[in-house]
Amino acid sequence: MSAKFDSSTTALTTSPTTFRKGRSLNDRVGIGFLVVTFVAIILGLAIGIPLSKRDTSGGGASQSSELQRAMTLLTNNPLIDGHNDLPWQFRQYANNSVYSVNLEQDMRVTWNNETPYDDTSFPRIPSQTDIPRLRAGKVGGQFWAIFISCASVEKDAVRLGLDATDIIHKFVEKYDDFELATTAQGITEAFNRGKIASLLGLEGGHMIGNSLGALRMYYRLGVRYMTLTHSCDVVWADSVKADERTPPSTRGLSEFGEKVVLEMNRLGMIVDLSHTSEQTQKDALNVSRAPVIFSHSSVYSLCNHARNVKDEVLQLTKQNKGLVMINFYKHYIDCAPTNATGNVSHVADHIDYVKDLIGVDYVGIGADYDGVPVFVDGLEDVSKYPYVFEELIKRQWTNEDLIKLAGGNLLRVFREVEAVRNSMSNTHPFEDILDRNLRNENCTSGF
């Protein structure tokens, strides 16, 4: 940030101040005072506006030294979360209407237990995200999830996905706190302007309708990662549900699914493996030419839920130079036999596990706020991120490692994905078409 402010300072201080001949000493002193005051005001505006949105106090009357250090670190370095389902809340509570609500207010009041809820087959999720809480939580960048129910598979998933994409574009345009980012450089530039860099992630390959053309169009709309599946299979990839069958499916990625991954590499779209089956994960890690992410998953060895990442896959992720972004959902943090609510320390255990097993370069944060109803104690909403960093500081984490966890690792992955895209610039778009025999002919119109 200093470089940005230096350029402003130079422009203001190197212009010569000329006094007219014959003025008294008092006149010159008075004019000089006015000039200094003017410069101070301009600098205050230039520097104070972005910094005002990054208050290091956190709003608390009393803070531990570790929390103060965490606040300062996140003020100066972007915290980039891999997954937030706020767009789904707009669908459920507001019928996709962005202009009917105000994210600058406490959304727990706006969206409450009395508010009509669109799809009651899903649990009601209390509001966990609004602009004041994002600011309190020091969020510098956010992947907003484009999620649509698996009930739309082979039906109208593409159209519904576009509706959700539109929601994100609308609220990013509506609020000055947000800025659309589609590149790694765009994230850092938005952060330096005091904005919350806003990125789009497509949570489920069912929303491309088995079409590489649709995938490309989502990219043009700003989507920068796609989760290959949600918790439902697509005809070209198995989801986590395959691991819960008896016996588990070992299909993984089909040949067409491999082309989906390669086209994502060519575009510069990050491959996300959260929600996928273990075999799909292994296949994608083998096929992808670029680093992959798990945008919101935790560690299987600490909580044996099928949505979490097993040690063998963690090792493959390291070989791929990818990233596992730890989820805060209580059922992915503390599993049977205790099934406890869990707390900040348990989340830190998952982060430490990845760090100790494969290295600090391969772990990040993807909390899954507004996507699940309950989180571990102490991490109930987006205002709470600094408490994770406070806990890790108590565990003797260095600033360098904390910066990597916060967003440095995601930026590194994004840049490497962009480098692979650049290396494939002479590769034509993949134009493979899914075998018509694999389509649901009752819900499609053929070619």
Q: Is 173 in the active site?
A: no
**Catalytic one of 81, 130, 177, 203:** 203
**Options 206, 238, 275, 350, the catalytic residue:** 275
Terminal alpha carbon distance of the chain: 52
Instruction: Note if 296 is an active site residue.
Output: yes
Q: Is 255 among the residues known to form the active site?
A: no
How far, in Å, are 80, 187, 195, 214, 312 from residue 192 at the CA level? 14, 9, 7, 33, 38
Q: Find the catalytic residue in 66, 83, 331, 352.
A: 83
CA–CA dist 236, 86 (Å, integer): 28
- Cβ partners under 8 Å of residue 181, min gap 6: 141, 187, 189, 190, 197, 198, 199
Q: Pick the catalytic residue: 66, 81, 85, 352?
A: 85
- Residue 177 known to be catalytic: no
| Active-site position among 238, 258, 283, 296 | 296
Residue of 66, 177, 243, 368 marked active site = 368
230 is catalytic: yes
CA distances (Å), 38 to each of 33, 48, 404, in order? 9, 15, 39
Q: For residues 147 and 340, give the distance between their C-alpha atoms in angstroms, rounded to a whole number.
A: 28
Clarify whether 346 is annotated catalytic.
Answer: no
Tokens, residue 129: 């995200």
Catalytic annotation on 169? Answer: no
Which of the residues are catalytic?
A: 83, 85, 203, 230, 275, 296, 368
